[in-house]
Amino acid sequence: MQYVWCLQNPPESLRAKPNVKIVSYNSMRYFYYQMTSKIIVANIPSPCYVPKRKNQFMIDTWHGGGAYKRCGIATPKQASLSNLSKSIIQTTEVSDNAKWELYKAYYNALDTNLFLTSCKRHTEVMFESQLLPREAYIEIGTPRNDVFFTDYKAVGEKARRRLGIDTDKKVVFFAPTYRGSVKNQKYVMNLDIQMCLNAAKGRWGGDWVFVFRMHVLSNALDKEKIPENAVNASKYDEMQELLCMADVFITDYSSSQWDFALTGKPAFLFTPDLEYYQNEDRGFYTPIDDWAFPYAKTNEDLADLIRNYDEKRHLQKVQRHLDLLGSCERGNATEKVCEIIIRHMAS
């Protein structure tokens, strides 16, 4: 087989493989291989302006698990985006999100043969959020999460080396999602980093470092509240490596919380704009009280959650959440996808 990766900054280890080609997104070579490859694997809907040929087979692994913030045609019309919460984001444009989501869903349904889901609830919500037929969904878990069913210590150490973090430091990793439906926005860091680090040190001891990774749609960051010793991992190419590295994880409404729940490690939600996000932005599929991690609306409450962390209570809450959503993660999703690919390559 020949493998074609669409990557802007591919690692040298991938470039060195003799049966791998690298193409840049939206380049002429990208369009050529997109339209001639027999199997296409993507974690977002295929560009609706690239037609899929009849003999091609498209597998969508999606880019999030669980069932948290709404997406696709289930996203609210978001008329309120013209009056965005200035305390959280700043934007220069507002588009008709409902029409755009319907347009994408229509063409994605024409292109996609299989859609992988992480849990039974994920299947349900994506069925109402996309226009794919029910038989397109396959409940085998998420390939990228297979790593959490292995001894992933070396993966976390790799991330530490790349980011220049000493092995004796413990890591608080913060990865929020984006706000609104537009791409041009500036995220305001309302999280008190030093208070967070102090709370972690008070609970677990040792020296801590703060690492953050902005969502790909958050093109800019308000740096006024970012201390010099914080590590910006926004350009780090593999999220799962950062999750393997983290000793404590903090997010808000990001589906990365589903991935991290599989590690069993401490995690918390920082949600200062909860009412706004729930009622006027994307809204939720699953009530936030049923999510795996506790949430805090203020920095003081977040610090209290960290200081009062109880591992037994945490693991029980995580397991209830995984059971509630009907987790399909078993650590063998990659193997199952490969079997599907080989079967279709031979046909």
| Contact status, residue 321 vs residue 122, Cβ threshold 8 Å | no
Q: How confident is the model at residue 263 (pLDDT cuts 50, 70, 90)?
A: very high
200 plus 316 within the same structural domain: yes
CATH number at residue 35: 3.40.50.11820
Give CA 173 to chain center in angstroms. 14
| Contact status, residue 185 vs residue 196, Cβ threshold 8 Å | no
Report the pLDDT averaged over residues 10-18.
Answer: 88
124 plus 106 within the same structural domain: yes
Judge residue 87's burial from the number of C-beta atoms within 10 Å of its C-beta, 0-12 exposed, 13-18 middle, 19 or more buried: exposed
Angle at 260 between CA 122 and CA 138, to 5 degrees: 30
Judge residue 273's burial from the number of C-beta atoms within 10 Å of its C-beta, 0-12 exposed, 13-18 middle, 19 or more buried: buried
Q: What token pair was written down for 273? A: 């704009």
241 plus 210 within the same structural domain: yes
116 plus 225 within the same structural domain: no
- Assign residue 326 a region (left: φ > 0; alpha: ψ between -120 and 50; beta: otherwise): left
* Closest residue by Cα to residue 64 from 182, 217, 200, 169: 217
pLDDT tens digits, 98-137: 677 777 788 888 889 999 999 999 999 999 888 899 999 9
**How confident is the model at residue 97, as a pLDDT?**
62
Q: Across all residues in the chain, what is the average pLDDT?
A: 88
pLDDT tens digits, 296-308: 999 999 999 999 9
Q: Which residues pair with 169 in a beta bridge?
A: 207
Q: What token pair was written down for 250? A: 């903090």
Rounded to whole angstroms, the Cα distance separating 79 from 118 reads 31
Rounded to whole angstroms, the Cα distance separating 161 from 261 reads 24
**How confident is the model at residue 246, as a pLDDT?**
98
**How confident is the model at residue 197, as a pLDDT?**
96
CATH number at residue 174: 3.40.50.12580
Judge residue 203's burial from the number of C-beta atoms within 10 Å of its C-beta, 0-12 exposed, 13-18 middle, 19 or more buried: middle
Q: What is the largest CA-CA distance in the chain?
A: 60
Query: Rounded to whole angstroms, what are the CA distances from 270 to 99, 218, 305?
Result: 31, 17, 10
Q: How confident is the model at residue 92 (pLDDT cuts 50, 70, 90)?
A: very low
Rounded to whole angstroms, the Cα distance separating 68 from 254 reads 8
**How confident is the model at residue 300, as a pLDDT?**
98
54 plus 159 within the same structural domain: no
CB atoms within 10 A of CB 53: 9
pLDDT tens digits, 279-296: 877 889 999 999 999 999
Rounded to whole angstroms, the Cα distance separating 337 from 56 reads 16
**How confident is the model at residue 13, as a pLDDT?**
86
104: helix, strand or coil: helix
Handedness of CA 159, 165, 167, 168 (dihedral sign): negative
Query: What is the residue-wise DSSP string for 161-177?
Result: HHHT--TTEEEEEE---
| Contact status, residue 294 vs residue 328, Cβ threshold 8 Å | no
136 plus 172 within the same structural domain: no
**How confident is the model at residue 198, as a pLDDT?**
97
Q: Which domain holds residue 230?
A: 151-325
DSSP state of 102: H
79 plus 197 within the same structural domain: no
321 plus 333 within the same structural domain: no
Task: Please count the structural domains in the chain.
Answer: 2
14 plus 78 within the same structural domain: yes
pLDDT tens digits, 189-244: 789 999 999 999 999 999 999 999 987 766 555 555 566 778 999 889 899 999 99
| Contact status, residue 245 vs residue 171, Cβ threshold 8 Å | yes
95 plus 13 within the same structural domain: yes
157 plus 87 within the same structural domain: no
Q: Which residues pair with 138 in a beta bridge?
A: 116
Residue type, 131: L
Q: What token pair was written down for 1? A: 């087989």
Rounded to whole angstroms, the Cα distance separating 282 from 277 reads 6
Rounded to whole angstroms, the Cα distance separating 120 from 137 reads 10
46 plus 134 within the same structural domain: yes
**How confident is the model at residue 91, as a pLDDT?**
43
Query: Is residue 11 over pLDDT 90?
Result: no
